[in-house]
Structure 1
Amino acid sequence: MGGDTPAWTPVHATVKGANKKYSQDALRFRAVADGAALLLTVADGHGAAPHRRSHLGSAWAVEEFVRCVTPFARMVAELEGEGPGAWRRLREAGDLPLRRTVCRSWLDRTRLHDLNAPSRGTAGPAAEFGRDRLVPYGSTLLGVLLSRTQVFCWQLGDGDIVLVDENGPPRHLFAETGDKVGDETDSLCGPEPWHRMRTHWQPLSSLGRDRLIMINTDGLTNSFADGDGYVRFAQDVYDRFRAHGPAWVGERLPGWLERAADNSGDDTTLLAAYAPGSAAPRTSSETRRGKEL
């Protein structure tokens, strides 16, 4: 990676909702292939009484996403610049096969946990393990892979992934499907969740300079009276990245999210990556709580 290529810098914060014993949100980010690719992921456990173990479900969701997508990220880094044929193979590998791998890894982990510590209080044979046994662990999952030249995104359930650059207003990478009622959302505990997980891919060359990608749980989105308020917030965050840099934003982000959490009453998590100029991802840090293909 050339020394004249600025790095993607991750910035993150998470705030527990008012009157909650603990947060059901989780986050993680990781540099892959010596910084040639960057993974970002957040998850939001559903938190209601039927989902009493969703803080575990969300934590495992981000862990399994990073574990399962890391080999794909290495493959992306290796094939960078090899032409259209390579990218067709990557798009195929990053769609249904990878979605299925991520979701099944989460399902296997939750099944194993419940078989050893049943949420119903009594153990039964594996053959009796129905999907309703997964409900206590229910969680959403959102993830991003940034390579030197591409951005890949996956989303299951609510929350937002937003891309901003110098050329225009913030752009939602996944539009609302319009078929949900109330607080209903797609979930890892649903039937064959890989079929409900949406994917997005585009080349970074299609973007202008000073790029920002934001990935957040719906506690942030719902803290605004309408979608326009959220878009204005995303634009304000972008403007502050450009004016003051990631360190300045990182110091103030928890306070911004605390005000948002006061409005929504929900756990609120934001994970962003900013690249000034024509940038490529590079980071050595990792943390937790951390168009269509």
Structure 2
Amino acid sequence: MTVRWTTLSGSSIGSVHVRDQLPLQDAVLTWTDPNAGHAVVAVADGHGHKLHFRSDTGAALAVVSAVEELRRILPEVVAADDPSVAEELLRTAADGLVSTWGAKVRHHVEAHPYAEAELALGAGEDVLRAYGSTVLACAAVGDLVLFLQIGDGDSVLVSAHGEADRPLPEDPSLDGLHTSSLCQPRPLEALRTAVVDARVDDVALVFLCTDGFGRPRVDSAGWWRETGQQLLEFSRSRGLHWLAEPAQVGGDDTTMALLVRSDVAGIDRPDLADTVPVPETAGD
């Protein structure tokens, strides 16, 4: 039986950004191959600081670049069907992601040159800084699940029993205030990758989310475990209605993308859409 993966995603703008009339800084992109059952998801969080005044565009370019580069390596991942080879290919994709993102940013600057006020902020000396963004991405190819991440946010896998785990190592530079970024001089130094073989480790679904989701949680260290259980239940029923709540409470944008494995007991939902919009909150 071919292992098939379904993608779901949603975003909600933070209340602080609404108050300050700022655009959504997060971005998300999903892709699926309905014939082979492969899938790729990516989320990104633009920094939003005044020095990163085009970070919403930077995040959008980051998810496009991530999906492009992960899709590029899929044929070789399938052919090898070997976690160690997949790890090497994943690093190739990450290198391509950084190069592709930088090229897309420079192309955007050529089409939309910096204004005098923006140049006064130093945008001319550091062309990429204005577009600063994190990026998290995952590709599911049969039984292999590939993760890459630069910056903050959470990458979590959940077993069929609802047990959650974070497969990526910690980034020691993350302190809750600062994050690694695609716009830093050597972003690959902050790269974290992992390859999980679902034939060895039980994997029912994967979720990626920006830091705006976990930040307002009381249990900041372990909220993702409970969320993993909830998402598994959701995948067996349907609904992403609670994604808007953290954005309202914490004030930051929130974005989540899921990869759901269709052959897990209780999950057989070919009708699941690639993108699930976040419902309006009461009173809107």
TM-score by length of 2: 0.83
Aligned to 2:167: 173
- Which SS does the other structure have where 2:42 is aligned? strand
- Which SS does the other structure have where 1:256 is aligned? helix
Q: Comparing both structures, which one devotes a greater share of its residues to helix? A: 1
Match of 1:215 among 208, 218, 223: 208
The amino acid of 2:13's aligned partner reads K
Please, which runs of 5 or more residues in structure 1 have no aligned partner? none
How far residue 202 of structure 1 moved from its aligned partner, in angstroms, is 1.7
What is the RMSD of the two structures over their aligned residues, measured on CA atoms? Answer: 3.0
**Which string of whole-angstrom CA distances, capped at 9 and with x for unpartnered residues, describes residues 265-284 of structure 1?**
011011112224459xx989
C-alpha distance in structure 2 between counterparts of 1:146 and 1:111, whole Å: 30
Match of 2:151 among 154, 157, 162: 157
C-alpha distance in structure 2 between counterparts of 1:181 and 1:110, whole Å: 27
Task: Give the 3 Å change call, closer, same or farther, for CA 168–122 of structure 1 in structure 2.
Answer: closer
Aligned to 1:75: 76
Aligned to 1:48: 49
Aligned to 1:17: 14
C-alpha distance in structure 2 between counterparts of 1:36 and 1:11, whole Å: 14
Task: Give the 3 Å change call, closer, same or farther, for CA 123–229 of structure 1 in structure 2.
Answer: closer
C-alpha distance in structure 2 between counterparts of 1:135 and 1:288, whole Å: 32
Aligned to 2:243: 257
Please, which runs of 5 or more residues in structure 2 have no aligned partner? 278-284
2:231 maps to 1:237 = yes
2:86 maps to 1:90 = yes
**Which string of whole-angstrom CA distances, capped at 9 and with x for unpartnered residues, describes residues 171-194 of structure 1?**
012243333334200101001212
C-alpha distance in structure 1 between counterparts of 2:84 and 2:164, whole Å: 27
Aligned to 1:62: 63
2:107 maps to 1:112 = yes
How far residue 123 of structure 1 moved from its aligned partner, in angstroms, is 11
How far residue 200 of structure 1 moved from its aligned partner, in angstroms, is 0.3
Match of 1:121 among 116, 120, 127: 116
C-alpha distance in structure 2 between counterparts of 1:267 and 1:167, whole Å: 30
Aligned to 1:144: 138
**Residues 53 and 136, structure 1, Cα contact 8 Å, conserved in 2:** yes
Percentage of matched positions with identical amino acids: 27
2:97 maps to 1:102 = yes
**Residues 40 and 143, structure 1, Cα contact 8 Å, conserved in 2:** yes
The amino acid of 2:109's aligned partner reads D
C-alpha distance in structure 2 between counterparts of 1:69 and 1:208, whole Å: 23
TM-score by length of 1: 0.80
